[in-house]
Structure 1
């Protein structure tokens, strides 16, 4: 993300010069009735929140296969609509407790209230006892950026406490060692657990803070409790930590105080170059987690619109069909229906398939509804690592995760702008529509690394992830910000994310028209977009394309 400040108008003169040669020659009409009816259906209680491995999955994937066929697609996986994705479901039993001794007073952190935790290891019981506790700042090891929070440290068998986001997340603007306000992958919780495991830690706990995490504790609680899905890999994930989890901010402050440390001062020092990890001398952490283990096959749903003249060159549309299922057990409404996230994006796959099928493109367009995004991008990662269509022959892609339901906007936000040459191709489309490109209003959230486009980007395929911005035609930026803040606070990953008759679909339609125009240009043209020079994914793409 360090290149996010690059002016987009000067990224690709060649791409910008061909403004209309491959633009759609017909009036684009995205079928609103398809979007509305499918979004409403998939977010009813009958689908039980569309969790992988449930009856809700069966209902969802069968619905999508029928709708793909009706739209004019062909089965996308060697005659089948489905790609099996081997998952293991791990469900913590009871209420595990994190116990800390050896400090000013013993501490006992309760499940849900003070912390959440689980294990990636495929074992019915895991535990760690009397594990030394170490504060490792942001838990980053980035030699190319001259930063290593684990320098000179041996954390094998220890419990590491980690801050969320990057060291420079409070910097205004996008300049800095880690992209300033714009999050890099080093700021994502997935990276922090991966690095802790590489360092040999027994357990890793991230301190929750609402602003740098970009969501409240309620989101952590809903997302991390109940069944957790992982790819079912050889070895049972025994190379991972015994336990991963989150601590509330208050619990972390109690932990630091028990070690005679001040949370605020240590957090401030962790953001400065030269920070060295701080062992919490004398503190010992212990925990046992009993889990129910179930192996299951989930499925990606794949349809293809074969190209007329270059069927072996592929464009991808992706959206995740899954959500959190029964995320609030014991409450009046237990179901996280996931209407916005992501029944809207999944319905858009069908609507766009109907639109593209009116005129077959030169290249093939593949439509993939992926599973287990909410569990860590598992379905898209499985496809990217086991592609039906070679990634070296995959031109580019567009991912759709939560459509804009606030209404038409005067601006469009490309998440991760400045990373790939797709930006240059997007600009003339926006200009023709009188829409300006705005910077990401929440760069600290790291959205580019939080949805399925990242699974493909990390293996070199350029992917666009964007949507209408916050400058609403009706209400301006203030109304747009208010809508976004209300959604994140009250509906994101909560039972309240339900189909609303008050939604304004104009913004979603506008965004889908933009996706359609970009995809049509790519599908009927000769472009092979790449990542911009210096981007972390450029070398991967170059190697992939050189061997095609």
Structure 2
């Protein structure tokens, strides 16, 4: 054999050996991720004793002490100096409208019932907010997006007015607009409220529609019938609109009919040349607030890197849920077993696995369990603005939220697939499990913007967020999708989200967590940083 032929063969053998060493090194750790400890963590976190894990409650105290104790037992270092806790100053506001929402015009009035037809609250930290005779304007999708040559507020002065806007973005109705069926951040309800405030509106009301929102009215109702949490701000949120809320599709139809305008106006809002419509109606609403300022907590632990400890791979999962709220069929504890006791338990399993490595990784690994996700990604927002590692040294955030409870699949869903090079890391890890990766089935739901990796993305840090696969082993086509759909329809954000060992199959969850370990392990050993892909709205932030 010639020396010319020997060189590539030797290189190939070296590469194979290096790969096998990596697999052999992490295989012992992977075995530490097991069903019995995973089930134990879920059963404890989702128990009635933890009271639904709402911030500012006994449920928070139980949860964060449990997590800190687990991290300490594993020998992980505190992630915030000498503490496993990062204080997150928040304000709890329980907003209660004093009456029905009455819409008045020259042709009469419409009265909307609280919770049945509308929900409303305020972020302003004051005992009472009064919106008096505020003119109503329909502002399409409520979007200002220069890169798409789109401005729903063009020519409109909304000071003193209340804008009514559609959920999602125009791509949901017309695949040639924005990113088509893949929701952009402009489609999220959080953006609608932010933009209305920037425009100076007194109030902003979103029209709910189940398909466009990707969840039914009952999810809006349950989320807005209790107190809501916000990060504390220097101006006590006076920069936000006085009134934020939602109305049902039927309520919107009644309002347009009162205005003498066809509900078809909602379809006409899909075009770039749409201009906001003055409805010649007015509304008034008094909102009374019960306010409590307090401090919630992120829980964080770190495994220091052996070679580049200042660089960091983050695993994140939110520990919070909705606590005790409106009873449904006699049950008032929102246990949050799937959302997100599964992800929190998975975080503990990953922490265990990394501590079982024969040698620590080159980079540090941060295990971050955040608060306030259900209230608007508050804990991760706080961490992203008060990081314990420099944001330009954070390699990636691997986020766990709502894991697979129905068994093994031949694939794994990468939510926001196409955003960054983490897609390829996930694909390689999946292939080592003889699996493949797929994009989310309903990108119009805006799932990439709905969990904690999003706050890292806004700072330029790529995020990997997975969902259950759709090709279930041992079941017919479509079965896995129906399991996910049934969860969203029957248990999501309701007291029915409980841990039921008899019906859960943890094998798929185990495989998914092991895949995430594989991804994070390889990231922790490298010296390069994964990049955003061309076309990602977050690429500029990394630069």
CA distance in 2, matches of 1:479, 1:142: 38
Counterpart of 1:355 in structure 2 is 353
257 and 188 in structure 1: CA distance in 2 versus 1, 3 angstrom threshold: same
Structure having the higher Rg: 2
1:53 is the counterpart of 2:52: no
Q: Tell whether the 8 Å contact from 2:93 to 2:292 is kept in structure 1 after alignment.
A: yes
CA distance in 2, matches of 1:18, 1:395: 26
Deviation at 1:476, TM superposition (A): 3.7
Deviation at 1:273, TM superposition (A): 2.1
54 and 301 in structure 1: CA distance in 2 versus 1, 3 angstrom threshold: same
Counterpart of 2:143 in structure 1 is 140
* Secondary structure in 1 matching 2:484: helix
Deviation at 1:453, TM superposition (A): 0.6
Deviations 1:99-129 (A, max 9, x none): 1111432112121011001001111100111
CA distance in 2, matches of 1:468, 1:213: 20
1:114 is the counterpart of 2:112: no
Deviation at 1:63, TM superposition (A): 0.2
Q: Tell whether the 8 Å contact from 1:158 to 1:203 is kept in structure 2 after alignment.
A: yes
Deviations 1:345-375 (A, max 9, x none): 0011111100011112111000000000000
Counterpart of 1:275 in structure 2 is 274
134 and 21 in structure 1: CA distance in 2 versus 1, 3 angstrom threshold: farther
338 and 22 in structure 1: CA distance in 2 versus 1, 3 angstrom threshold: farther
CA distance in 2, matches of 1:24, 1:303: 25
Counterpart of 1:323 in structure 2 is 321
Counterpart of 2:12 in structure 1 is none
Deviations 1:468-489 (A, max 9, x none): 3211112143111210111011
CA distance in 2, matches of 1:162, 1:374: 22
Counterpart of 2:529 in structure 1 is 528
Deviations 1:39-89 (A, max 9, x none): 111111111111100000000000000011112211110010000000000
Counterpart of 1:5 in structure 2 is none
Counterpart of 2:5 in structure 1 is none
* Structure 1 unaligned residues grouped into runs of 5+: 1-16, 543-548
Counterpart of 1:449 in structure 2 is 449
CA distance in 1, matches of 2:18, 2:260: 62
TM-score (norm 2): 0.94
Deviations 1:165-190 (A, max 9, x none): 01120346xxx331101000000000
TM-score (norm 1): 0.93
Counterpart of 2:384 in structure 1 is 384
1:163 is the counterpart of 2:161: no
Deviations 1:314-368 (A, max 9, x none): 1100000000111214861111110000011001111110001111211100000
Deviation at 1:411, TM superposition (A): 1.0
Q: Tell whether the 8 Å contact from 2:426 to 2:437 is kept in structure 1 after alignment.
A: no
1:492 is the counterpart of 2:492: yes
473 and 171 in structure 1: CA distance in 2 versus 1, 3 angstrom threshold: farther
1:104 is the counterpart of 2:102: no
Counterpart of 1:469 in structure 2 is 469
Deviation at 1:18, TM superposition (A): 13
CA distance in 2, matches of 1:506, 1:19: 29
* Secondary structure in 2 matching 1:201: coil
* Secondary structure in 2 matching 1:403: coil
* Secondary structure in 2 matching 1:93: strand
* Secondary structure in 2 matching 1:49: helix
Q: Tell whether the 8 Å contact from 1:415 to 1:440 is kept in structure 2 after alignment.
A: yes
Structure with larger RCO (C-alpha < 8 A, sep 6+): 1
Q: Tell whether the 8 Å contact from 1:223 to 1:327 is kept in structure 2 after alignment.
A: no
* Secondary structure in 2 matching 1:230: strand
Q: Tell whether the 8 Å contact from 1:76 to 1:366 is kept in structure 2 after alignment.
A: yes
Q: Tell me which moved more, 477-486 or 91-100.
A: 91-100
The number of residues matched between the two structures is 522
* Secondary structure in 1 matching 2:52: coil
1:391-540 aligned at under 5 Å gives the runs 391-501=391-501, 502-540=503-541
* Root mean square deviation, CA, Å: 1.7
22 and 143 in structure 1: CA distance in 2 versus 1, 3 angstrom threshold: farther
328 and 288 in structure 1: CA distance in 2 versus 1, 3 angstrom threshold: same
* Secondary structure in 2 matching 1:341: helix
Q: Tell whether the 8 Å contact from 1:122 to 1:237 is kept in structure 2 after alignment.
A: yes
* Secondary structure in 2 matching 1:106: strand
CA distance in 1, matches of 2:347, 2:120: 35
393 and 444 in structure 1: CA distance in 2 versus 1, 3 angstrom threshold: same
1:47-446 aligned at under 5 Å gives the runs 47-93=50-96, 96-171=99-174, 176-263=176-263, 265-281=264-280, 283-329=281-327, 332-359=330-357, 360-446=360-446
Deviation at 1:94, TM superposition (A): 6.1
23 and 134 in structure 1: CA distance in 2 versus 1, 3 angstrom threshold: farther
Q: Tell whether the 8 Å contact from 2:98 to 2:288 is kept in structure 1 after alignment.
A: no
Q: Tell whether the 8 Å contact from 1:299 to 1:370 is kept in structure 2 after alignment.
A: yes
* Secondary structure in 1 matching 2:279: strand
* Secondary structure in 1 matching 2:387: coil
CA distance in 2, matches of 1:219, 1:59: 26
Deviation at 1:427, TM superposition (A): 1.9
454 and 46 in structure 1: CA distance in 2 versus 1, 3 angstrom threshold: same
* Structure 2 unaligned residues grouped into runs of 5+: 1-15
Q: Tell me which moved more, 57-66 or 96-105.
A: 96-105
Q: Tell whether the 8 Å contact from 2:416 to 2:439 is kept in structure 1 after alignment.
A: no
Counterpart of 1:12 in structure 2 is none
CA distance in 2, matches of 1:406, 1:95: 44
Counterpart of 1:3 in structure 2 is none
1:37 is the counterpart of 2:35: no
